Structure 1
Amino acid sequence: MDALTLLKSRNSAAKLCAPAPNDTELQDIFAAASRAPDHGRLRPWRFLLIRGEALSALGDVFAKAAMERDPAVTEADCQRFRMQPLRAPLIVVVIARIEDHPKIPVIEQQLSAACAAHGALLAAEALGYAGIWRTGVNAFDPNVHKALGLERSEEISGFLYIGSRDGQAKPLPVLEMSDFVKEWR
């Protein structure tokens, strides 16, 4: 598939199954992610791979964080949080590393990490895999951050659930450029 076709056709896949990219393919995915726009070459991102038994451990982290946020949370809710990471054979946690920089504002660093995440999703799709970018309450929970070993200057940009598409891709609407592109004069 040529690059432009890939860019115009990639869409999120909520249903994923094994296999996930292997270590060699992950090197290609992260090489593509590392080409994100990066003012000052700060490389304000890092990635945390979660796969295998660690997926269940992440589910336990999510459930424990839910109980910390709301002591009245039900066991059914906790079980739902435990199951979330099991939706894919691989989760890539995209972490923005924010630096106090005199010339590069925080938003540029956050956007650079987001571009790296998008690059990873595009590369996974180019290799024949699929994924979905999820955030939700756990991306912003300090207990989740602590459990995942984030530093004070780091934040989660998203959880990339990656694997093989389970079923057909949902059709995406064709957008009219005129709906979101205007020429300033």
Structure 2
Amino acid sequence: MQTKNTTVLDFMRTRRSVPAKTMGGPGPDEAEILDMAKIASRIPDHGKIAPWRFIHYSEDAKLRLDKRIHERAREKYPDLSGEALQIEAGRMARSPTVIGLISAAVDHPKIPRWEQELSSGAAGLAWLIAANAHGYDAQWLTEWIAFDEVLSAELGCREGEKIAGFIHIGTRTAPKTERDRPDIETIFTRMD
């Protein structure tokens, strides 16, 4: 019989994202961020092609990008005003650390793009788990900026890449709450 790692099991049973807008400092230091990146790269990757990459946005980059996101929101949504427009001026500043999760799928004779995109998704979850294991809170967000072709290059995408999301990491400033989970009876079946 295998030995269970009850610490890991308990951790996974209670893992919960925390909204980026409720995060403050401290955030992880450079060594912790690099360790999280190494952990996130240890996910299923058929063919060892690493169809993803990560971008750590510095404070200067976050300020520059928030200004550009605000400008782009005004271009794209001219009726946006008040608090809704202010949100656009601080998307990247919501948490101490923001990691861009980039899907870098390529044409491959044996590994379909869909499988490569799933690998990118696994890397995103690994970032969340690594951040939590380091003692921080995290949230994976996409929002409209992840899909905006005008902002894509400014956010670090190269030709043919897509933004899979942004991993926000910090320390919660409000109590962690639980949310409803799917009824296991409706999502888990057995085929005999």
Q: CA separation of 1:73/1:51 partners in 2, compared to 1, >3 Å: closer, same or farther? A: farther
Identity of aligned residues (%): 31
Secondary structure in structure 2 of the residue aligned to 1:161: strand
C-alpha displacement of 1:65? 2.4
Matched, 1:6 2:15: no
Report the Cα distance in structure 1 between the residues aligned to 2:145 and 2:182, rounded to whole angstroms: 31
Alignment of structure 1 residues 15-94 onto 2, 5 Å: 15-70=22-77, 72-76=78-82, 77-94=84-101
Partner of 1:157: 164
How many pairs are equivalent? 184
C-alpha displacement of 1:98? 1.5
Of the three residues 97, 101, 110, the one matched with 2:108 is: 101
Listed one character per residue, the Cα deviations across residues 121-163 of structure 1 (whole Å, up to 9, x for unaligned) are 1010011101111111110111111212311211000011110
CA RMSD of aligned residues (A): 1.8
**Partner amino acid for 1:139?**
A
Partner of 2:3: none
Partner of 1:166: 173
Deviates more, 1:132-141 or 1:144-153: 144-153
- The two structures have a TM-score, normalised by structure 1, of 0.91
Report the Cα distance in structure 2 between the residues aligned to 1:174 and 1:44, rounded to whole angstroms: 30
Deviates more, 1:169-178 or 1:90-99: 169-178
- The two structures have a TM-score, normalised by structure 2, of 0.88
Contact 1:135–1:158 (Cα < 8 Å) also in 2: yes
Contact 2:142–2:166 (Cα < 8 Å) also in 1: yes
**Partner amino acid for 1:150?**
C
C-alpha displacement of 1:9? 1.1
Listed one character per residue, the Cα deviations across residues 85-143 of structure 1 (whole Å, up to 9, x for unaligned) are 22101110100111111111111111111101110110100111011111111101111
Contact 2:65–2:92 (Cα < 8 Å) also in 1: yes
Report the Cα distance in structure 2 between the residues aligned to 1:3 and 1:35, rounded to whole angstroms: 17
Report the Cα distance in structure 2 between the residues aligned to 1:3 and 1:27, rounded to whole angstroms: 22
Listed one character per residue, the Cα deviations across residues 55-93 of structure 1 (whole Å, up to 9, x for unaligned) are 2212112122223434x2445344321122221011101
